[in-house]
Structure 1
Amino acid sequence: MSDGPLDDETLEKYREAGSVLREVLDEAAEKVEPGVTQLEVADFAESRIRELADGCAFPANISVDEEASHASPGRDDDTEFGEEMVCLDCGVHVDGYIADAAVTVDLSGNPELVEAAEEALDAALDAVGPGVQSGTVGAEIEDVIRGYGYTPVLNLSGHGVSQWDAHTGPTIPNRGTERGVELEVGDVVAIEPFATTGRGKVTEGSKEEIYSLERDRSVRDRSARNVLEQVKEEYKTLPFAARWLDDPRAEMAVKRLKQQGILHGYPVLKEDDGELVSQAEHTVVVTEDGCEILTA
């Protein structure tokens, strides 16, 4: 939770991150069309972020159809977009201060599913303010999505962001709950409704391309040591993509570091096969009279 209102310098860094992210998301979303590869869009978004800000808060997530989160193309991935539901989720940091936002591009012919997530986000933002329970915000999200005849993804949630930490408290559920936390002035939160045609529960898939530093310890293997040094220097505690690593044997090094508990992996989270998931997300700072949307 917050320590009170943000100081001017910190708030400006969040605002800068949010402004860059809005620009990049809009540009990247326009590139999502049949025949374009996922890697082309991810590379474009990440390159633009590095050009305009201090860096990516996490790899570009490109989730298709039943995928909901943590999907990102591999180094040599040549997968092209087809007639699919495409969620594009990106993060920007300025001096470690993070903005996180997502849009859904519908190539599948299911615009109402996209609209459900967007309307749920709008309702959630209207509800945010100091003293409001996180479960109350979740109830707004759930009501809108169920009103469209879809299901919110119940085991994914919005979250706080802080310096060098892309996922911290408070948690903003995508359903109404009696238990929760009270939002406070100065809280910076990413609110991200997910709407699905499925049962509303995601599980881990087999694909894994995103990692983060779990703990630092000495390693013998030279390649693993090179990877660890790059991670600590360039990404610190922020998630990174295996394809970002310079070492030609990075894939094996990452596996070793994960086995040793040094790196944490993020498997793709997905709904049941054949279902569709849409997502909408903004990062906001809670203010005295509601919230300021950083990524609008």
Structure 2
Amino acid sequence: MSAELTQKTHELKLADSQPVENEEVDSASENEAGEATGDKKKKKKKNSKKKKKKGPPSTGISHQFQKGVYPEGEICEYAVTESLNRMTSEEKRALEIDHQQQYNDLRKAAEVHRQVRTYARNNIKPGMLMTDIAEMIENSTQSLAEGDTWKSAGTGFPTGLSLNDCAAHWTPNKGDKTILQESDVLKVDFGVHVNGNIIDSAWTMTFQDQYDPLVAAVSAATNEGVKQAGIDVRLGDIGAAIQEVMESYEVEINGKTYPVKAIKNLCGHNIAPYTIHSGKSVPIVASPDQTKMEEGEVFAIETFGSTGRGYVVGQGEVSHYARSGTAGHQTLRLASAKQLLNVIDNTFGTLPFCRRYLDKIGQDKYLLALNNLVKAGVVTDYPPLMDAPNSYTAQLEHTIILRPTCKEVLSRGNDY
């Protein structure tokens, strides 16, 4: 017998001081005076103030939360059974004591994500280079997360900026000149990690009202997935609930009506330290999968809706890569491949990376070596995932943790 799921949203309180605003001081424009015609009467001087544009967030999170304790996400009670109420169980509360550092690292990463995405959502506009958008997000993430090395804290994976029929796994490579258009549907998917504890969260940006129902579909579907998730819940059941909500929507684009389809070969996933996809998949369509979610697991609940076929294929120039955590020892004959693998292991470990990241750390003429590593199976490439040409896709994603006492939606914010 299950009780109705209830949710309690905690206010995000500061532990010691208010976050530092990255805002310039207002400047007053020069006063202007004019003369009236005929009687030569002077008009009153007018004072006008012009606000300088706020810069990207750059004040490290530890300076904003000087006690080193970061805000909880949204707290949701599990369904109450006759035998156990986890929120009040002393046994379950005791189990959480040993995981406080993990929780705090995840909350720190989530707070970085919220602050960076707030700036991004307010400042991404048509006419911008996609490279500039990616670097704005990544540079802000690195500044706020304050990692001494790539592995200690910072970007959890390359910033996905997939457009229109591309659902995922696209970020600009060096020299890319793609410009964001007003008619585009943009998925912004970026990760933040602290000590390998990764927050994976994404949203969809549009600049025309006609796409609103498509965005509403993935928002409602993801929230349904978050609601259904819990300890001992079957993954296939979550997929069925997500699909039912997603496919209750339709959208009219340029005078034509499309049913919104859940993209059946994309899914959510569980997350382990330094491993963005750690084995379990959360389907977004009905599935016979009887695998259960378990206590202590971290999941990215993400949904994708499409006006196309609802099925993606990998195609186009690759930007995303990751070290294979399961690859055994491989003999590499190419000296440049050995050197590059050493750089990847020392810099990123198993965190995903992109070609721009290799450029940033000073690697040059590495493509032959990188392809050699992919061919050897020690690095995996992730090509852009494309739905039908001229279709539109949308995404929304949250990271949750199934604590012994409750479900915490770590990446929840005031925006989504």
TM-superposed CA distance for 1:208, in Å, is 0.5
CA 1:288 to 1:221, structure 2 compared with 1: closer, same or farther past 3 Å?
closer
TM-superposed CA distance for 1:220, in Å, is 5.1
- The answer as to 2:127 corresponding to 1:47 is no
- The answer as to 2:57 corresponding to 1:57 is no
Q: Report what 1:205 is aligned to.
A: 315
1:285 counterpart letter in structure 2? I
Q: Is the Cα–Cα contact under 8 Å of residues 330 and 376 in structure 2 kept in the other structure? A: no
1:255-294 maps to which residues of 2 (within 5 A)?
Answer: 255-288=371-404, 290-294=406-410
The CA RMSD over aligned residues, in Å, is 1.8
Q: Is the Cα–Cα contact under 8 Å of residues 152 and 194 in structure 1 kept in the other structure? A: yes
TM-superposed CA distance for 1:35, in Å, is 0.7
Aligned equivalent of 2:303, options 193, 197, 206: 193
Q: Is the Cα–Cα contact under 8 Å of residues 129 and 289 in structure 1 kept in the other structure? A: no
- The answer as to 2:202 corresponding to 1:102 is yes
TM-superposed CA distance for 1:290, in Å, is 4.8
Q: Distance in 2 between matches of 1:241 and 1:179?
A: 32
TM-superposed CA distance for 1:274, in Å, is 0.7
Bigger mean CA deviation after superposition, 221-230 or 254-263: 221-230
Aligned equivalent of 2:261, options 129, 137, 151: 151
TM-superposed CA distance for 1:125, in Å, is 1.4
- The answer as to 2:128 corresponding to 1:36 is yes
TM-superposed CA distance for 1:218, in Å, is 5.7
Q: Distance in 2 between matches of 1:262 and 1:289?
A: 39
1:123-202 maps to which residues of 2 (within 5 A)?
Answer: 123-149=224-250, 150-202=260-312
Scaled by the length of structure 1, the TM-score of the pair is 0.93
Q: Report what 2:101 is aligned to.
A: 9
Deviations 1:237-265 (A, max 9, x none): 11100111122212232123223333211
Bigger mean CA deviation after superposition, 222-231 or 94-103: 222-231
Q: Distance in 2 between matches of 1:96 and 1:238?
A: 8
CA 1:261 to 1:177, structure 2 compared with 1: closer, same or farther past 3 Å?
closer
TM-superposed CA distance for 1:24, in Å, is 1.6
Aligned equivalent of 1:241, options 330, 354, 359: 354
Q: Report what 2:171 is aligned to.
A: 72
TM-superposed CA distance for 1:75, in Å, is 1.1
Q: The residue matched to 1:168 in structure 2 has which SS? A: coil
Q: Distance in 1 between matches of 2:378 and 2:229?
A: 37
Q: Report what 2:110 is aligned to.
A: 18
Q: Distance in 1 between matches of 2:320 and 2:311?
A: 21
Q: The residue matched to 2:201 in structure 1 has which SS? A: strand
CA 1:261 to 1:132, structure 2 compared with 1: closer, same or farther past 3 Å?
closer
Aligned equivalent of 1:113, options 191, 203, 214: 214
TM-superposed CA distance for 1:136, in Å, is 2.0
Q: Distance in 1 between matches of 2:384 and 2:166?
A: 7
Q: Distance in 2 between matches of 1:196 and 1:289?
A: 36
TM-superposed CA distance for 1:189, in Å, is 0.1
Q: The residue matched to 1:9 in structure 2 has which SS? A: helix
Deviations 1:113-132 (A, max 9, x none): 01100111111112222222
Q: Distance in 1 between matches of 2:232 and 2:375?
A: 43
TM-superposed CA distance for 1:176, in Å, is 2.2
TM-superposed CA distance for 1:286, in Å, is 1.3
Q: Distance in 2 between matches of 1:148 and 1:288?
A: 35
Q: Is the Cα–Cα contact under 8 Å of residues 186 and 287 in structure 1 kept in the other structure? A: yes
Q: Is the Cα–Cα contact under 8 Å of residues 166 and 387 in structure 2 kept in the other structure? A: yes
Any unmatched runs of 5+ in structure 1?
none
Deviations 1:164-209 (A, max 9, x none): 1000133111012232322222110000010111121101112201
Q: Is the Cα–Cα contact under 8 Å of residues 141 and 154 in structure 2 kept in the other structure? A: yes
TM-superposed CA distance for 1:102, in Å, is 0.2
Q: Distance in 2 between matches of 1:278 and 1:19?
A: 24
Larger fraction in strand? 1
Deviations 1:2-22 (A, max 9, x none): xx8571111111111122112
Q: How many residues align?
A: 293
Deviations 1:71-118 (A, max 9, x none): 110011121001200000011111111110001001353111011001
Instruction: Answer 1 or 2: higher relative contact order, Cα 8 Å, separation at least 6.
Output: 1
